[in-house]
Amino acid sequence: MKLSFKSLWLPLLACLAFAASANEATIRKNLSERLPNLPPIEEVSKTPFPGVWEIRINRSEILYSDSEGNYLMQGSIFDTRNRVDLTEQRTQKLSAVDFSSLPLKDSFKVVHGKGTRQIAVFSDPNCGYCKRLEKTLADVEDVTIHVFMYPILGPDSVKKAQSLWCAKDKGKTYLDWMVRGTAIPNASCDTAAVERNVALGRDLRINGTPTIFFVDGTRVPGAVDAERLETLLKSAKAK
């Protein structure tokens, strides 16, 4: 009797799938029983590292375990052949956003040059790293910056963010304060947009400022330098 390639491999694939499912069930059971304070496990998946499984919690937080959940590890897996931090790569993918879904009506623009390239920045007016980023962005050509006021550093941040949002020329007032240190004039208006930004930031798990989003969904926290910004802008545009 002639056996086809398909008839030989299908049972093997089924066995492999069953084994993977059994491993996942064992990992989930053991970790949840032994570590009751561990956040709910949202996904268990294999890694390229033999015997090591990825444990995903809190949407984009990555931990690692053996195949039975006896050991739990935190850190990065680095692919030395391709010189790639696989953990960082995976985290970036998980924390990416759909740029087109950002509510740009709750932001204001700062435009450099033609402004054909775009980024979104969540910024606190009292954040020193945000001020450093704005000084760096001043030298970046051809970019539109959608600034989302995200006052998370205290009550004074909220007051400044509200006054900035209510300014007649939001972009100029923002740069005057962030780059040149000019005091923000008191102003009042409907500031519901600032409240919506705080809620949005929490939903997106933005834990610090500045946080930058590129059009390809890439999220970058912190005051990155001009060279890296340019690299990321080119990469995002290429995609």
What does the pLDDT look like over 9-29, one tens digit per residue? 444 444 444 445 668 999 999
Cβ atoms of 120 and 107 within 8 Å: the answer is: yes
Average confidence score pLDDT of the chain? 89
Please determine, for residue 200, whether its predicted confidence score (pLDDT) is greater than 70: yes
Of residues 235 and 165, more confidence is placed in 165
Q: Give the number of domains in the chain.
A: 2
**Same domain (yes/no): 172, 115:** yes
pLDDT value, residue 88:
85
pTM of the full structure? 0.76
pLDDT value, residue 28:
92
Cβ atoms of 120 and 146 within 8 Å: the answer is: yes
- Residue 211's nearest CA partner among 200, 203, 222, 201 is 222
Share of the chain above pLDDT 70, in %: 90
Please determine, for residue 41, whether its predicted confidence score (pLDDT) is greater than 70: yes
Query: Of 95, 121, 143, which one is at a domain's C-terminal end?
Result: 95
**Same domain (yes/no): 28, 62:** yes
